[in-house]
């Protein structure tokens, strides 16, 4: 819809309903915006709209261009979180945007009970970090004594190198153990890092890292056998950690001293947990309630949770997470605009993605493959608005079969997912709960095997989709699929905690999940065929990248598996 047409529609609705305005009519308040490299988030406070029938739309275009594009509609949030914080607003995200680009963002809200709002703002995505181009290149070795930073006479140790460091410097770290615990306390500048990079002549290891300075770049380093491999103090901003290896540490990257806008990519993190023990302590990447991060293309295993505790405005994508003793990704206590897409989670002993608790909304869960969790692909506790779209979710028996948790699925929007039971089980157990104004579940695919009770809604069990739809109005476009004929690869040989082989469960030609999905603006507009496919993979598209990208790929180039929408 064009901007002009949408504006006319908003004006017409305002006139139509202005005579019905009452105490619950909508009034707009503070509008907040923020961004990452590929996303923009907004939160617009409101008062009124107690009927929850207001609608919020978001459009975007690259600044100076002529064509507006639709974003996925904003979420109506009316939520008091477990900490007693109250949110009454419209909120949401634009996804898969181009890095380092200024966008015009147009937001319109219309309340049929009276009231409206419209604002257009400029928001820039952050650029992909790059190594300094015009600074000095200096050399460091793990020795003692003097040095001048040349290849023939490198600085002896990190302390000596930091004494002369300035923004724009690249320090090439030559092979050896630099001892520990190494503190990086000299800051670079915005757009001009101080970079510490393995020289390429062998392993560069530290007995722990403490980052308490901003605009630091760490590449190609190793930390083994520590309680905490990398920690923070002084809330450092804009830190890059890439192409590094953290092995047999209890915590891998742990932002226990704060931090904002980190870029954590292409790392290998192997914890010290025994997955089958179900341990709850020791994380791969612990963001510790901090914001603005991009966590992408990491391979994480043998931790409790793979990635944990984002606060707000965080993108988590392309990660390969397996053999974790608790959950794959744990956005617990996160606020608005936590975005989790394109991740593969296998053998998370407890759950794939955790909602324990949501402190704010919405969250976005898009194109994730979650297989082999002992409990559920999604763990719900205190939940508010979210979008689950194009996920492939596979459990051994029941999928959302826990009656205490499954009903929280009714808080969200579900589109184009595949819900699969290996042996046959209850897919959705909503217990006695029924839909509310928050509920929008449709266009999903289901395989419940020979289960007689795949769905429980309003205290009643239903043996098929038609019964669920007749009772609830949900999943009017849902379909039953058969895993034996729908997947090119479907190898789940044993129940958890037995390991499931790493695989991509792509669709097979002829599967009835192809070309029957809903079109979702700003999410799947690049589909092939007559309509989007269900599940994490679009038939005929290249496989996404999971975990670190090949060594011959530039470490921080734009991701290749994002569903970018042309500006």
pTM, 2 dp: 0.94
Q: What pLDDT sits at residue 565? A: 35
β-pairing, 40-47 with 86-94?
antiparallel
Task: Please check whether residue 294 is in contact with residue 556, taking contact to mean a CB–CB distance below 8 angstroms.
Answer: no
Omega of the bond leading into 497 within 30 degrees of 0 (cis): yes
Task: Please check whether residue 334 is in contact with residue 313, taking contact to mean a CB–CB distance below 8 angstroms.
Answer: no
Q: What pLDDT sits at residue 404? A: 63
Task: Please check whether residue 365 is in contact with residue 390, taking contact to mean a CB–CB distance below 8 angstroms.
Answer: no
Report phi then psi at 74, rounded to 5.
-70, 155
Half-sphere exposure of 308 (CA within 13 A, CB side): 24
Q: What pLDDT sits at residue 225? A: 97
Q: What pLDDT sits at residue 143? A: 87
Task: Please check whether residue 51 is in contact with residue 153, taking contact to mean a CB–CB distance below 8 angstroms.
Answer: no
β-pairing, 386-389 with 363-366?
parallel
Cα–Cα distance measured from residue 282 to residue 126, given in angstroms and rounded to the nearest whole number: 31
For the chain, give every domain's residue range: 3-124, 136-217
Cα–Cα distance measured from residue 135 to residue 164, given in angstroms and rounded to the nearest whole number: 13
Task: Please check whether residue 161 is in contact with residue 216, taking contact to mean a CB–CB distance below 8 angstroms.
Answer: no
Q: What pLDDT sits at residue 277? A: 86
Q: What pLDDT sits at residue 24? A: 73
Task: Please check whether residue 275 is in contact with residue 269, taking contact to mean a CB–CB distance below 8 angstroms.
Answer: no
Cα–Cα distance measured from residue 228 to residue 256, given in angstroms and rounded to the nearest whole number: 10
Residues 6+ apart with CB under 8 A from 552: none
Nearest to 30 by CA among 97, 119, 158: 119
pLDDT tens string, the chain, 567 residues long: the values are 444 433 343 333 333 333 333 447 899 999 999 999 999 999 999 999 999 999 999 999 999 999 999 999 999 999 999 999 999 999 999 999 999 999 999 999 999 889 999 999 999 999 999 999 999 999 999 988 889 999 999 999 999 999 999 999 999 999 999 998 999 999 999 999 999 999 999 999 999 999 999 999 999 999 999 999 999 999 999 999 999 999 999 999 999 999 999 999 999 999 999 988 888 999 999 999 999 999 999 999 999 999 999 999 999 999 999 999 999 999 999 999 999 999 999 999 999 999 989 999 999 999 999 999 989 999 998 999 999 999 999 999 999 987 567 899 999 999 999 999 999 999 999 999 999 999 999 999 999 999 999 999 999 999 999 999 999 999 999 999 999 999 999 999 999 888 899 999 999 999 999 999 999 999 999 999 999 999 999 999 999 999 999 876 654 444 444 443 332
Burial of 41 (0-12, 13-18, 19+ CB in 10 A): buried
Residues 6+ apart with CB under 8 A from 157: 140, 141, 142, 143, 144, 178, 179
The two tokens of residue 205 are: 């290891």
Q: What pLDDT sits at residue 13? A: 35
- C-alpha distance from residue 175 to each of 140, 161, 169, 315 (Å): 9, 15, 19, 33
Query: Max alpha carbon distance in the chain (Å)?
Result: 83
Cα–Cα distance measured from residue 350 to residue 279, given in angstroms and rounded to the nearest whole number: 10
Secondary element (H or E) of residue 16: helix 3-17
Cα–Cα distance measured from residue 243 to residue 381, given in angstroms and rounded to the nearest whole number: 35
Task: Please check whether residue 424 is in contact with residue 401, taking contact to mean a CB–CB distance below 8 angstroms.
Answer: no
Which CB contacts under 8 angstroms, 24+ apart, belong to 214-217? 214/187, 214/188, 214/238, 214/239, 215/167, 215/187, 215/188, 215/189, 215/190, 215/239, 216/184, 216/187, 216/188, 216/240, 217/129, 217/131, 217/188, 217/193, 217/242
Burial of 104 (0-12, 13-18, 19+ CB in 10 A): middle
**Left if phi > 0, otherwise alpha if psi is -120 to 50, otherwise beta: which for 524?**
alpha
Residue 23: DSSP 8-state: T
Q: What pLDDT sits at residue 17? A: 35
Q: What pLDDT sits at residue 554? A: 54
What pairs with residue 330 in β-bridges? 308
The class that CATH gives domain 3-124 is: mainly beta
């Amino acid at each position: 819809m064009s901007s002009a047409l949408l504006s006319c529609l908003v004006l017409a609705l305002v006139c139509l309903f202005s005579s019905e305005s009452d105490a619950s009519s909508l009034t707009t308040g503070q509008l907040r915006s923020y961004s990452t490299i590929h996303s923009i988030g907004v939160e617009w406070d409101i008062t009124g709209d107690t009927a929850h029938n207001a609608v919020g739309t978001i459009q975007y275009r690259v600044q100076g261009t002529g064509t507006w594009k639709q974003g996925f509609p904003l979420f109506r949030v009316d939520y008091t979180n477990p900490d007693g914080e109250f949110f009454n607003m419209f909120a949401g995200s634009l996804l898969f945007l181009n890095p380092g680009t200024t966008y015009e963002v147009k937001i319109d809200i219309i309340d049929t009970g009276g009231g409206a709002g419209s604002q257009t703002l400029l928001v820039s995505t952050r650029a992909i970090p790059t190594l300094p181009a015009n600074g000095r290149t200096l050399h460091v070795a793990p020795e003692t004594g003097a040095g001048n930073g040349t290849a023939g006479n490198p600085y002896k140790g990190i302390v000596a190198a930091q004494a002369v460091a300035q923004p724009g410097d690249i320090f090439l770290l030559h092979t050896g153990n630099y001892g520990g615990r190494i503190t990086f306390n000299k800051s670079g500048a915005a757009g001009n890092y101080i970079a510490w990079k393995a020289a390429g002549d062998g392993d560069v290891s530290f007995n722990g890292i403490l980052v308490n300075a901003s605009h630091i770049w760490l590449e190609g380093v190793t930390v083994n056998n520590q309680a905490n491999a990398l920690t923070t103090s002084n809330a450092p901003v804009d830190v890059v950690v890439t192409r590094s290896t953290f092995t047999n540490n209890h915590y891998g990257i742990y932002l226990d001293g704060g931090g904002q806008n980190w870029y954590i990519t292409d790392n290998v993190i192997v914890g010290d947990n025994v997955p089958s023990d179900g341990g709850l302590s020791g994380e791969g990447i612990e963001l510790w309630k901090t914001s603005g991060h991009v966590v992408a293309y990491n391979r994480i295993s043998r931790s409790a949770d793979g990635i944990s505790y984002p606060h707000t405005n965080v993108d988590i994508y392309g990660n390969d997470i397996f053999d974790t003793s608790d959950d794959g990704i744990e956005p617990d206590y996160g606020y608005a605009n936590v975005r989790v897409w394109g991740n593969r989670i296998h053998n998370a002993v407890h759950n794939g993605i955790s909602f324990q608790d949501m402190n704010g909304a919405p969250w976005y869960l898009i194109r994730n493959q979650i297989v082999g969790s002992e409990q559920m692909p999604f763990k719900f506790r205190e939940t508010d608005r979210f979008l689950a779209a194009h996920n492939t979710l596979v459990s051994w028996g029941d999928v959302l079969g826990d009656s205490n948790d499954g009903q929280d699925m009714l808080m969200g929007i579900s589109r184009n997912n595949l819900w699969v039971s290996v042996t046959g089980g209850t897919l959705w157990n909503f217990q006695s709960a029924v839909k509310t104004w928050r509920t929008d579940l449709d266009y999903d695919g289901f395989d419940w095997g020979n289960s007689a009770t795949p769905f429980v809604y309003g205290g009643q069990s239903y043996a098929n989709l038609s019964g669920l739809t007749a009772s609830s109005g949900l999943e009017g476009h849902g379909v039953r699929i058969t895993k034996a004929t729908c997947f090119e690869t479907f190898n789940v040989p044993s129940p958890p905690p037995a390991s499931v082989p790493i695989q991509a469960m792509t669709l097979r030609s002829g599967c009835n999940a192809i070309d029957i999905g809903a079109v979702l603006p700003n999410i799947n507009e690049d589909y092939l065929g007559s309509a989007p496919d269900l599940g994490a993979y679009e038939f005929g598209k290249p496989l996404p990248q999971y975990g670190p990208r090949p060594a011959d790929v530039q470490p921080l180039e734009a991701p290749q598996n994002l569903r970018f929408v042309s500006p």
